Structure 1
Amino acid sequence: MKTNRFLMLLKTRGALTSASIAKELGITNEGARLQLLKYTEEGLVSSFNESTGVGRPKQFFNLTEDGHAKFPDTHAELTVKLIAGMRDALGDEALQKVIDVTEQAGKQRYFEELEPLADLEDRIAKLAEIRTREGYMAEYSKDESGYLLVENHCPICAAAKTCQGFCTAELNVFKHVLGEAVSIHRMDHIVSGDRRCAYRIAKIED
C-alpha cells in the first residue's frame, strides 16, 4: 500500500484528533473517522484519550510502528547486516572510520550548496531542502528563540539504531555547514523513540 495523505499527515504532524484531520484534508468528520477506523483495524494507526481542558477527554490518533514502516528506511535489512558484519569482522574502530569518511563527505557535499548563502535562515532553508531531497521530510520554522529544524522521517533509521555514530556524524555535519557562530541542539531523536528528530538552532551572541 502506498503512503497516502492520512498517513502523511500523521507522520508530519504527530497525534491529531479526527476533527483536526478532517479539517486539514477538507473532508467530513465522519469520513475521517471511517478512514481512521480502517487504518486502526489494519494496525497502522492507534488512538489514545487525552484531556485538553474543560470537558471530556479527546481521542487522538497517531501512527503505530507498522504505520511508520510505510515510510521507507533505505535498504534497512541489508544495511544492518553490513554494519554487523563489519563490526564482527573488522571491529568498532574500522566501523568508526567508515562513519568518519561518511561525515567528511557530507560536510563537503552540503557545504558546496550552502557556502554561497550568507544569511543563516537561507542556509537553514537550503539544509532542509537537501535533507528532504534525501528522504528526511525536513522543514524549519522561526520563532523568538531562533530556528527549529524538524526531520519527520529517518530513511537510515535501522542503521542509526544499530550504530548511533551515524547520528553523531549528521549533527557534526550540521554544525560544520551552518558555521561556528551558530549553536545546534538536538531536542527530539527518532532513535530514542520520539516521533521526529528536531534541532534548535540559534546564533551565538557575542
Structure 2
Amino acid sequence: MKTAPTSAARPRIPAGAPGVGGTALVERDASTREQVAGSILTHGPSTAAALAERLGLTAAAIRRHLDVLEDQGLVESREQRVYGPRGRGRPAKVFALTDAGRAKFYTAYDELAITALSFLQRTAGSAAVEEFAAERLTGIEARYAQAVTAAGPEVSPVQALAAALTAEGYAASTQPAGAGEQLCQHHCPVAHVAERFPELCEAETAAFSRVLGVHVQRLATIAHGDGVCTTHVPQSRPSTGPVLHDSTTDERSDS
C-alpha cells in the first residue's frame, strides 16, 4: 500500500508564487514597502522602530521590508546623528531614501513643468523665469511668515518655518549648528524641475531670508544631487521679525 509522502518529501511552493495566493501577497508586500518609503519621504530618515509605530507594523516586519528596499537601492542605512551629549551605546540606525528611491515619487508633471519653463525661457528670457520663481512663492511665503509670527516662545523661528514647510510637503526638520541652526528639507516636490532651473532654489532661499529676517545660506540641495536640502540660518536677531516680500530687497544667494 502506498503511503503519503512525508513533509520533507513534499515539494516546497515559494512564497509569492502566482496561483496559490502568492500574487496577492506580492502586491500587498509591494504596497507596504511603498508605505514604508512614503513614511521616510514625509518624516525624513527614520529608525525601524519609528516606522513600525507610524505604520502599525511590527519592527520585524518593517526590517524585512527595509531589507528589500535596500537590496533594490531605494533605501540606505546610516547611524543616527546625535547632537549634544551622547548616551551609552551605539547610535540607532536610521534609514533614508536614496536618489533612486526619491525618484519613485516624481511624476510626469515634472516634464510638463520643465517644458513650460523652457518655452518661457526661450520666448521671454531668463528674467521671466526668475520672475515666475519669485511669483510662485508669494502665497507660500505669506503662510511661512504667518507661521513664524504665530509661533510661541518655546519654538524658534527656524522650527516654526520647518513645520510650515512640512505642511507644504517638504518634510523639514532642524538641527543646531554652532551659533545658529540648520534647516533640512528631506523632500523637494520640485527637485527635478529645479535641477534644470536653479532659479526655483534661489527664490526659495531669498524667501527664507525674508521670512526669518536674517541672511541665510543654502549649503546643499536635492536638485544638485545632495540627499537633503540644507540651509544654514545664523542666530536670529531678537528684534528682527519676518519680512514680507519686497522686490526691492530681493537678493540672490548661492545655491
**TM-score, with normalisation over the residues of structure 2?**
0.59
Q: 1:163 aligns with which of 197, 222, 227?
A: 197
Residues 62-99 of structure 1 show CA distances to partners (whole Å, capped at 9, x for unaligned) of 54433112334693121111111211222222222222
Q: Give distance in 2, aligned partners of 1:23 and 1:96.
A: 40
1:4 maps onto 2:35 in alignment? yes
**How does 1:57-96 map onto structure 2 within 5 Å?**
63-72=97-106, 75-96=109-130
- Structure 1 window deviating more from structure 2 (108-117 vs 135-144): it is 108-117
Greater RCO, 1 or 2 (C-alpha within 8 Å, sep 6+): 1
Residues 85-137 of structure 1 show CA distances to partners (whole Å, capped at 9, x for unaligned) of 21122222222222232344444343233334585944222211211111100
Q: Which residue of 2 aligns with 1:188?
A: 220
Which residue identity lines up with residue 194 of structure 1 in the other structure? D
Shift in alpha-carbon separation, 1:188–1:113, aligned structure 2, 3 A: same
Which residue identity lines up with residue 44 of structure 1 in the other structure? L
- Do 1:137 and 1:153's aligned partners in 2 also have CA atoms closer than 8 Å? yes
Q: Which residue of 2 aligns with 1:51?
A: none
- Do 1:128 and 1:139's aligned partners in 2 also have CA atoms closer than 8 Å? yes
Q: 1:177 aligns with which of 204, 211, 236?
A: 211
Residues 35-58 of structure 1 show CA distances to partners (whole Å, capped at 9, x for unaligned) of 34422454534689xxxxxxxxxx
Q: CA deviation at 1:188?
A: 2.3
- Do 1:99 and 1:166's aligned partners in 2 also have CA atoms closer than 8 Å? yes
- Do 1:150 and 1:199's aligned partners in 2 also have CA atoms closer than 8 Å? yes
Q: Give distance in 1, aligned partners of 2:157 and 2:227.
A: 25
1:38 maps onto 2:68 in alignment? yes
- Structure 1 window deviating more from structure 2 (70-79 vs 154-163): it is 70-79
Greater fraction strand: 1
Which residue identity lines up with residue 38 of structure 1 in the other structure? V
- Do 2:181 and 2:234's aligned partners in 1 also have CA atoms closer than 8 Å? yes
Q: Give distance in 1, aligned partners of 2:152 and 2:71.
A: 50
- Do 2:217 and 2:231's aligned partners in 1 also have CA atoms closer than 8 Å? yes
Q: 1:146 aligns with which of 177, 180, 192?
A: 180
**TM-score, with normalisation over the residues of structure 1?**
0.70
- Structure 1 window deviating more from structure 2 (115-124 vs 130-139): it is 115-124
Superposed CA RMSD in Å reads 3.6
- Do 1:74 and 1:156's aligned partners in 2 also have CA atoms closer than 8 Å? no
- Do 1:73 and 1:156's aligned partners in 2 also have CA atoms closer than 8 Å? no
Number of corresponding residues: 187
- Do 1:103 and 1:172's aligned partners in 2 also have CA atoms closer than 8 Å? no
Which residue identity lines up with residue 4 of structure 1 in the other structure? Q
Shift in alpha-carbon separation, 1:100–1:6, aligned structure 2, 3 A: closer
Q: Give distance in 2, aligned partners of 1:115 and 1:92.
A: 34
